[in-house]
Structures are given as C-alpha cells and as structure tokens.
Amino acid sequence: MSRRPHDADPEAPRGDPTLPFEAALERLEELVDELEDGSLTLEQALATFEQGVALSRRCAEELERAERRLEMLVQNGAGGERARFDPDVDG
C-alpha cells in the first residue's frame, strides 16, 4: 500500500535536533508544499503545520548558533595577531 505524501507520518521529524540542518530544511519545504496544495483535511493540515513549526524553530535555532559562531570568529580574527603566510619558509 502506498502512502500519499500528505498522510501523517508518525516517524516524520518533529524538530529532531539530531537531524542535519539541510534535511530539516528540506522536510520543512515539503510540509509547506503539502499545506499549499490544499488537499489536506483539517486534522492533517494541523498536524503538518505543527511539524512545520517545530522544524522551523529548530532551523532558526541552528542558524542563530551559526551566526553567533561567525560573529565570534570575525571578532577574534579582527582584533588578534595574524601569522603572516610565508611560502619560502620551510616548516
């Protein structure tokens, strides 16, 4: 028996922090497509929306962590001494 793409999947990611960011974002896009399709029942739409909210929050949190990490790298790099690359030095 084949499963229609908009049927509720109890094993679908619900903001699982172990899910890679790219996979979470891809699943979120799939959920948006399912909602935009307009063929979901009210219960299916609510369940899909709930999954989408969880994935959206998870993706936003990961993006915020990445942004903080980049800010730290830029701050540390801008104020610190940088070793000059010298290709003639054997090392």
Could you state, in order of their start, the residue ranges of all structural domains in the chain? 21-77
| Three-class secondary structure assignment of 26-58 | HHHHHHHHHHHHCCCCHHHHHHHHHHHHHHHHH
Distances from the Cα of 91 to the Cα of 55, 78, 85, 86, angstroms? 47, 26, 11, 10
pLDDT, one tens digit per residue, over 49-63 is 999 999 999 999 999
Q: 81 by DSSP, 3-state: which? A: coil
Q: What is the pLDDT of residue 86?
A: 64
Residue with tokens 């999947």: 9
Q: What is the pLDDT of residue 9?
A: 45
Q: What is the pLDDT of residue 88?
A: 63
Range 21-77 has CATH code 1.10.287 = yes
In which residue ranges of the chain is pLDDT below 70? 1-16, 78-91
Q: List all residues 6 or more positions away from 71 whose beta carbon is below 8 Å from its beta carbon.
A: none
